[in-house]
Amino acid sequence: MTGTTSADKEPIFDSAGNEYSYATSIPFNVGIQDNICVSPCSYVTMAQVSNQLTINGQTATISSVEVTQAIQQYQTLADLKTSLQTTGEPPVPIISGKPAVMRIYFASVPSAQTVTVRVSGVTNDSKTVDLQPNCSEPDQRSHAAPKNCPSIDFYFNPPPDAAGAWAVNLTLSDVNGNEVQRESLNFKSRDTNQLLIHPVSVCSASGEDCGRAPWLNETKVFLSKILPTNSVTVGSFTPLTMDRDSFITPPCIIDNQTVYWFYCWVDSTQKTLGALYTHEDASIDSHLHRSSKYLGIYHALTLDEQQGDGGDFDPAGNLRPSPSAIISDSLIAQVFRPAFENVAYSAAHEIGHSLGLLHTSTDQLTPYGGSPPGCWPYGSRQQGPVSHWPYPTNNIQSGSQFEYGWDWVTHRPIDPVLNNEFMAYCAYSWISPIRYNEAIQALGGGSVPSVASASSGAKPRARTRS
C-alpha cells in the first residue's frame, strides 16, 4: 500500500502529547521499515505511526470477528458486515447445534494494552486480555510460537435455523473501563442432517476373517470435528459375509481393463453394502433429518489389499453420493501408504466420498518425506471431470489465503501449513472451506453459493478409487 498521509506538513500529536514531525510529504509504505523522526527523536516505523493515527489516541480496535466451527474464510470486520447484510452468513455458514467459537482479533497495537470485550446476545460473557505489541491479526489467529499472541475466543452453540437470526453484540473497553468500540452483528444458522454410521464387519466366510475397527471411535471424533453436522453417531457392528474365493479365478474387468481380482471383490462388497440401505432407512432419515451410511470394514491379509472405496460413479464418470463406504481395518496401511498416519482418517475420507466429496486433483504436492506433513504422491488423483479444487496445493485454504481451522475439542487452531484437505491423501488432515460447504449441501443444509463458483475446469481423466 502506498500513498501519502493526509497530514502532510502538519504536526500531529498523540494522546500523550508527543509530536509527530513531518518534514515533507511522507511515503506511506505500510509494513516497510521507513523511519521518521518522532519528538523526542526516536525512530518508529510508518506502520506504528499509521496505527496510532488510525486509533486516534484510543486503545485497541476490534478489526475482525471470526465465527468458526471447523473452518472459516477470514474476513475483515467490514467484509463480514457486508456478508451478514447480504446473506446473514459468513462465507462458511454456521451450523446449528455444532459447537462454535467466536474469535475476536485486534489491530496491532504499538504498546501493551489491557482491554475487555463483552459479548451479549447469542451468549453472554466477558473477557479481559493484555494485548501485546507486534501481534498482527494472523499472529492472533494462529497462536503461533514464538509470539503466542492471544485472541479472545467465546464459545457458544448456534441456535436452530427456526429461531431466526441471532445477535452478537460486542463492546470493547479500555483498562479504565471506557467503552471504545461497539459492534452489532446478526447471523443466521443452518440446520443440517445428523450423520449415523452403521459399521459392518465384512467376513471372507461365515464368521471368519472378519474386519474389526478399534479406530472407529477416533473416526467418529474426527468427523464430528470437521463435518458440518451437530451429531455423528456410530451404531453397533453387524456382520456381512463376502466370499473372496469366488472372485479369485474369474477375470476382474473394470473400465474395460483386467485388474487384480481384489478390486472386483471391493466393488461387489461396496454394492452389497449399499443394498443394506433400505427404503425404511431412507424414510427414517428423511423424517429425522439424518444421513445414514453403511461403513464396511474388512480384514486385510496382504499389502495389496489395503483399499478403501466410497461414493459411486454415474455413467459420465462423476462421483455421486453413496449410502456406503468400505475400508480395511489394518494399520499395516501405514507401510503401504505412509501418508495415512492413521487409518481413522482414511475411514473419514471414505465417508467423505459417500457424501459426494472429491479428491483435490492437484498435481502439486508437498512430498511426504516419511513423517508429516506431506502428501502421498498418488493421493490427489482426479475423480470425474471436475475436482472443485482451484488451488495449486492441498493445504487448507480459500481463494485468497491459507485458512486456520479450529478444533472445537482441543480449542486449538489448525495450522494450514501442516494440514491438508482430508479429501487428498495427506497427513495431517483437516477440511477446507470448499469441501465443508459441499458437505453442508450433502447433509441437507441447502446450497452454498461459493461452492458453485469453485469448479476447477480440469480436463476429464479416468476416474480412480479410494
The string of DSSP codes covering 297-361 is EE---SGGG--EEEEEE-TTS-EEEEEEEEEE--TTHHHHSTT-S-HHHHHHHHHHHHTTPPP--
Size of the site for Zn ion (CB under 5 A): 1
- Of 355, 362, 402, 393, give the one whose Cα is nearest residue 380: 362
Q: How far is the CB of 249 from Zn ion (least distance, A)?
A: 29
In the complex, minimum distance from the CB of residue 350 to Zn ion, in angstroms, rounded to a whole number: 7
Distances (CA, A) of 83 to 63, 74, 87, 189: 15, 12, 6, 14
**In the complex with Zn ion, which residue's Cβ is closer, 289 or 461?**
461
Residue closer to Zn ion (CB basis): 291 or 466: 466
CA distance 182 to 351: 43
Closer residue to Zn ion in complex, CB, 397/466: 466
**Nearest by Cα to 63 from 104, 91, 30:** 104
The residues in 5-34 that bind Zn ion, with binding defined as CB under 5 A, are none
How many Cα atoms sit within 13 Å of 208 on the Cβ side? Answer: 8
CB of 356 to Zn ion, least distance (A): 12
Measured distance CA(332)–CA(421) in Å, rounded: 23
Residue closer to Zn ion (CB basis): 308 or 413 = 308
Site string for Zn ion, 407-446 (x = CB under 5 A): ----------------------------------------
CB count in 10 Å sphere of residue 314: 9
Q: Taking the complex as a whole, how short is the minimal distance between the CB of residue 359 and Zn ion, in angstroms?
A: 6
Closest contact distance (angstroms) between CB of 296 and Zn ion is 15
CB of 219 to Zn ion, least distance (A): 15
CB nearer to Zn ion: pick between 104 and 426: 426
| Nearer residue to Zn ion within complex by CB, 231 or 318 | 318
| CB nearer to Zn ion: pick between 49 and 348 | 348
Q: CB 211 → Zn ion: shortest distance, Å? A: 19
Q: Which amino acid is at 54?
A: T
**Closest residue to bound Zn ion by CB:** 466
CB of 318 to Zn ion, least distance (A): 15
64 sits near Zn ion (criterion: CB under 5 A): no
Closest C-alpha to 403, from 391, 388, 414: 414
C-alpha cell belonging to residue 407? 478444533
d(CA 13, CA 441): 54
Measured between alpha carbons, how far is 423 from 394 in angstroms, rounded to an integer? 9
What distance lies between CA 371 and its chain's CA centroid? 22
- β-sheet bridge partners, residue 281: none
Residue 36 contacts residue 43 (beta carbons within 8 Å): yes
Give the residue from 380, 361, 375, 368 showing the smallest Cα distance to 454. Answer: 361
- Minimum distance between the CB of residue 360 and Zn ion, rounded to whole angstroms? 10
Q: Which is nearer to Zn ion, 322 or 466 (CB)?
A: 466
Identify which of residues 211 and 352 has a Cβ nearer to Zn ion in the complex. 352
Secondary structure of 145-196 in HEC code, one letter for each residue: CCCCCCCEEEEECCCCHHHCCEEEEEEEECCCCCEEEEEEEEECEECCCEEE
3 state DSSP class of 448: coil
Considering only residues 157-186, where is the footprint of Zn ion by CB under 5 A? none
Rounded least distance, CB 329 to Zn ion, Å: 17
Q: Which three cell numbers stand for residue 280?
A: 425404511
Angle at 69 between CA 184 and CA 398, to 5 degrees: 90
- Nearest to 118, CA basis, from 95, 102, 136: 102
Query: In the bound complex, what is the minimum distance in angstroms from residue 464's beta carbon to Zn ion?
Result: 8
Burial class (CB within 10 angstroms; exposed 0-12, middle 13-18, buried 19+) of 218: middle
Q: Which stretch binds Zn ion (CB under 5 A): 92-100, 333-341, 411-419, 458-466?
A: 458-466
**Minimum CB–partner distance for residue 121 and Zn ion (Å):** 41
Interaction of residue 466 with Zn ion, rule CB under 5 A = yes
Pick the closer one to Zn ion by CB: 229 or 466. 466
- 449 or 460, CB closer to Zn ion? 460
Per CB under 5 A, 394 contacts Zn ion: no
Q: Closer to Zn ion at the Cβ: 270 or 466?
A: 466
Chain residues binding Zn ion by CB under 5 A are 466
